[in-house]
Amino acid sequence: MIFLAVTAACYFFNARLTEALSQNLITFFSISFGFFTTAIAVIFNSAYLKQLYMQIAPSGDKREIHVFSHYLKLSAYWSIGSIMIILTYMMFASKAGNDVDALVLNLGEYIFRSVAIKLDYLASAIVFGISSVNIFMMALVFNSLLYGLIQQAADTNE
């Protein structure tokens, strides 16, 4: 849902992927991936990890550690996927003639039921949509890590 909403909004407002923005997104996703990798190493022997193993998820079919590891895996996949998609986009894109900083793929238009779809705007919008899902996944993992920090502090005070 986030992907579709952001993609549609970016297409509607003609959001363009620029060289600077694409480089910043790659840097941000790379640093975030490193942060989550470090977080895994930090919580590896923590009491929070043992507590997650002991708790059953609200769905009742798995433990909380499985939910948390699923978040970490999805976040890692989205980070790596986002980086790869942005790098691929940059590889095949060229600078727009009228807007020197914007990157375009020169895909042209596609006519669908008498509606012209600008494929360059759509490609940029898809990159933004994928990036938004990546950021959402990071927020989920970050929230889980903060919850773990609170739980760890509560356990040490008992």
For residue 13, give the amino acid letter: F
Mean pLDDT of the chain: 84
pLDDT of 11 higher than 90: yes
Answer for the pair 35, 153: CB distance below 8 angstroms, yes or no.
no
Q: Which of 59-63, 75-79, 135-139 has the lowest mean pLDDT?
A: 59-63
pTM of the model: 0.80
Residue among 11, 43, 32, 46 at smallest CA distance from 124: 11
Domain spans of the chain, in order of start: 2-157
Residue with tokens 């190493």: 41
| Rounded CA separation 67/144 (Å) | 10
What 3-state class would DSSP assign to 30?
helix
pLDDT tens, position by position, 29-69: 999 888 888 878 877 777 777 787 888 878 878 888 888 88
